[in-house]
Chain A
Amino acid sequence: MSREEVYLTDLHKSYEIRCPVHGFITLNAWERDIISHPAFQRLRRIRQLAWTDQVYPGAMHTRFEHSLGVMHTATLLYSTIRQESAKILEDELGYKEAGLDRDLQLVRLATLLHDIGHAPFSHASEDLLPEHEHGKKYKHENYSAAIVRTQLQDVIENHPLNTTNYGFKADDVAALLEGSTTARQRLFWRDLIDGQMDADRMDYLLRDSFHAGVQYGKFDLNRIVNTVRAIAGIRGRAPRFGISQGGWHAAESLVLARYFMFTQVYFHKTRVAYDIHLKGALKELLPGGRFPRPTSEELKDFLKWDDWRVLGLLADGKGGLHGKYLATRSHYRLAYPSPEVSDEEDLALVEKIRDKLGDMIVAVEESKKNWYNTGRPDIPVVSDVDPSTVLPLSKYSNVVFSMKPINQILLYVAPENSEAANARVKEVLEDERNRQGSLGFSPSIS
């Protein structure tokens, strides 16, 4: 049977995939074909949280199911904004019903494909993406856009559902993913893909919590979906995403979920140690110590890299010393963590400990450089009584107001030096206690 004949029979069928977080996720025939493409199926072989299973054994889920979940969540958020903020969408972005129908499909495709460019083990290996000509490193979004424009071009552009109803080019999806001005008024929806309250974050917090078996990432998704809004642009500025007043507690819970997941899962000391070893091993495994570029010449080589390939090479004893650390679970040990919110004195103490440990230190990891960490949230909350009153979430939430960004520093030593390093750290801390005592401060360092 030709491809065209298959489409004619199945074109208007919808398909459902069971999801442990959201229940059923519904797809159309076009989305189903995209998901069936080998470039998308590769996501089944890219774990969402790298080696986090060494701490939380259930965290074995993949970018595949996350991508489906983000598309589903984005659809829910889009639909509410469309219904509740129609006037803003029309007045400020020129949207009519037909345009909103059309762009919903584009947003679904962009969110479905937003992570298709991930390297093996997701963010843990992103440091090994190469630099482009301007000296900046490529990000996985650049790879996602490149894969959409090349490998997926045919299945996006020539599917009968597209040619008959939408006429989208692969470039339309890529522009929304990477933030190109060719996305035009649709740039407004980029906040659904990568923003303060994006569908990506909402899905990964719930999904990562579920699989890790922790409760830290839970928040009231249904309430956020019910209360998300477009906030009118003020004084000539562009409109943006926000939340109605009735939903601010749910937004607060989202912020807190992110904070807890960062401290308990994403920046867990042992998970961070495994990230270090993974990067070290990949440097040995990759030609030139870096991933292929997202160019027409190298993209196919990039797509050959997935977790299976890396694990196979590690099983063959490759990956150098870091490969051995991974294989034997004999990972670097944490010698000293600064407080989660470190002030100048805390950072000065880190420097003293670094001096004392000297060559023993094999890695220094900063939370602020971790992909999951960002600045203080700035979610606009629109009054239910007076829509012209918009205040930041921190004005409503005492908890968010008081939150400080995490800027923790972790110092690691080799496992064989762990005891000696602990002794040296204790010496520094004791000196510091004595120094504070001599200055008349009550000892605060334990």
Chain B
Amino acid sequence: MNETDKARLALVPVLAERSPSGRIGRTALMKYLYFLQTLRGLPLGYNFSMYSYGPFDSAVLADLTSAEVLNIVEAQPVQFSGGYGYRIKASSHAEFAKGNALRFLSIHNDDIEWLFLTFGKLNSAELELTSTIVYIDQEFADAKSQLSTCEMATRLREIKPHFSRERINGFVEDLLQKNVLKATVRASMQSC
């Protein structure tokens, strides 16, 4: 197991433990890792690409199941009206996994703190939306171009038509205030 593998396995229980409830769902795990790699530059080696439910890499789920087998976390399905989710929490061998990546976790402690300050209160749907906003912004940043908040809302509604423009604008503005977006610039309301 190389250092990246150890870091990835250690992050699963750490993210669960550091969340306010001491547990996270699979969507939160996926999007938190996306944010850490994309916005804070953690060298995790994931290859996220875009789906209708936001950035996704099946390697994250492979890491989660590895962590379950090694008793680093446990993940229980929980049912609610109209669907189900997973509750992931640290398990008996979490400390062992963290011990294997002490240096990595120490170096990136502030990044994890930033993650929860910035995104810790968002639910699954909001994480899907927010990570999609970040993904669009990154596409434009990678292409060394900009987009206005109006264009962002239009692009997002093409992917997620059920979100209102007002709701999207609220999330985009919040991310702008938190200096998360690189390529998105505010547009006047008249130009939308």
Interface residues of A (CB under 8 A from B): 91-94, 135-136, 139, 141, 178-181, 183-185, 187-188, 190-191, 195, 231-240, 341, 343-344, 347, 366, 368, 373-376, 378, 380, 388-392, 394-395, 404-405, 407
Contact = CB atoms under 8 A, between A and B. Distances in A.
A374 B61 contact: yes
User: Which residue, of B45, B84, B93, has the highest number of chain A Cβ atoms within 10 A?
Assistant: B84
B84 A185 contact: no
A181 B161 contact: no
Interface in B144-192: 155, 158-163
B136 interface: yes
A295 to B, nearest CB: 14
A388 B47 CA distance: 33
Contacts of B43: 135
Nearest to A394: B77
Interface of B: 1, 26-27, 43, 45, 47, 49-54, 58-66, 68-71, 77, 79-84, 93, 96, 123-126, 128-129, 132, 135-136, 139, 155, 158-163
Nearest to A195: B51
Given A179-B51, A187-B52, 17 more contacts: A93-B52, A94-B161, A181-B135, A184-B155, A184-B159, A185-B158, A185-B159, A235-B83, A236-B125, A236-B162, A238-B54, A240-B53, A341-B69, A376-B68, A378-B61, A388-B82, A407-B66
A93 B161 contact: yes
A237 B47 contact: no
A237 B125 contact: yes
B52 A390 contact: no
Give me the 10 closest cross-chain CB pairs, A-B, nearest first. A179-B49, A236-B125, A375-B61, A234-B83, A184-B158, A375-B65, A375-B62, A179-B50, A238-B53, A405-B65
A16 to B, nearest CB: 33
Nearest to B129: A236
Contacts of B139: 180-181
Contacts, number: 131
A368 B139 CA distance: 29
B128 A237 contact: yes
12 contacts: A93-B52, A181-B136, A188-B52, A190-B52, A231-B83, A234-B80, A236-B125, A238-B51, A238-B53, A375-B65, A390-B82, A390-B83
Contacts of B53: 237-238, 240
B12 to A, nearest CB: 12
A155 B60 CA distance: 37
B52 A374 contact: no
User: Which residue, of B49, B52, B53, B124, has the highest number of chain A Cβ atoms within 10 A?
Assistant: B52
Contacts of B77: 391-392, 394-395
Given A93-B161, A234-B82, A368-B66, A181 B50 contact: yes
Contacts of B62: 368, 373-375, 405
A180 B118 CA distance: 25
Contacts of B26: 378
A407 B67 CA distance: 11
Contacts of B80: 234
Contacts of B79: 391
A341 B68 CA distance: 12
A387 to B, nearest CB: 9
B139 to A, nearest CB: 6
Contacts of B58: 374-375
Contacts of A391: 77, 79, 84
Contacts of B65: 375-376, 404-405
Contacts of B135: 181
Nearest to A232: B82
Given A179-B50, A388-B81, A238 B61 contact: no
